[in-house]
Amino acid sequence: MALNSKSMKLDLPKLIGHRGLAGVAPENTMPAFEAAARHGLRFVELDAKLCASGELIVLHDNDVKRTSTGRGRAQAMSWAQLKKLDAGSWFDPAFRGTRIPRLIEVLDFCRAKGVGVNIELKPNRGDYVQTARAVATLLQQEKLVGQLPLFISSFSIQSLRAARDCMPELPRGLLMERRTTLRHILERTQELGTCTFNYDRKLISAERVQQLNARGIPTLIWTVNDANEARKLLAMGVSSIFSDFPLKL
């Protein structure tokens, strides 16, 4: 699937690794991204947010409790505190000692391996604009734009607006998690300059996919781990699927 956003052309595969390869290694950790590269995935998705000391980290939840040995909001913790947490043993004892990575670590790895990255802006409360700006600054400082297939997405309208203003050359995806009208999707797409509609597998319909495809808006669906469901969605006209187990689909 080829997407065009001003100067950049992005080619997305049918299957995208969700939080790395989250079915075989702790989500959003280096082992998950290493596994994705090792198994030949062309694209992975990750979640980026700011910690208290200003570093961009790769973490889905606002609280570290579910995916580490720590407790508390990442927004209130410094990188010095976060990097001491064990972010692997919750998944399997074999991953004991795995830590929460910084975004730059993952991007450097993916650049070296030629793996594209969907950076989902996952801001803490109140950090909507700051998170987008921090990602833009990082990408510019590290000269990653043009060297690595990149794709920005978010549920946050404020983050997407900031991404549009800071990174107009990068493709952006609109994430939604509630049922909504075609008109609302089209209005948001036009306002934010997004080029994909990213939606929950439980909410998508063949009619909506056809409506969006007819308007040149690809649908990206999350999170699909069943092979039969994946086949049905792709037959429906869905462009790409996020999966914890893409190798089984």
Q: DSSP 3-state assignment of 83?
A: coil
In a domain, 36, yes or no: yes
From 3, 10, 12, 18, the catalytic residue: 18
For 196, the domain range is: 2-48+103-248
Residue 39 a catalytic site member: no
∠ CA 140-145-150, nearest 5°, is 120
Q: What's the domain count of the chain?
A: 1
pLDDT, mean over the chain: 95
Whether the Cβ atoms of residue 124 and residue 134 lie closer than 8 Å to each other? no
Whether the Cβ atoms of residue 213 and residue 25 lie closer than 8 Å to each other? no
In a domain, 90, yes or no: no
| Amino acid found at 3 | L
Write down the pLDDT at residue 10.
66
Q: In the structure encoding, which two tokens stand for residue 1, read together?
A: 């699937």
Q: In the structure encoding, which two tokens stand for residue 121, read together?
A: 């802006």
From 60, 83, 161, 188, the catalytic residue: 60
Q: In the structure encoding, which two tokens stand for residue 177, read together?
A: 């998690």
Look at the block and give the residue holding tokens 């056809």: 210
Write down the pLDDT at residue 9.
57
Write down the pLDDT at residue 146.
86
pLDDT band at 66 (very low <50, low <70, confident <90, very high): very high
Q: In the structure encoding, which two tokens stand for residue 54, read together?
A: 């200003």
For residue 3, is pLDDT > 80? no
Which CATH number covers residue 109? 3.20.20.190
Look at the block and give the residue holding tokens 């590290």: 142
In a domain, 171, yes or no: yes
For residue 7, is pLDDT > 50? no
In a domain, 182, yes or no: yes
CA distances from 129 to 15, 197, 205 (A): 29, 21, 32
Q: Classify residue 226 as exposed, middle or buried by CB count within 10 Å of its CB (0-12, 13-18, 19+).
A: middle
In a domain, 209, yes or no: yes
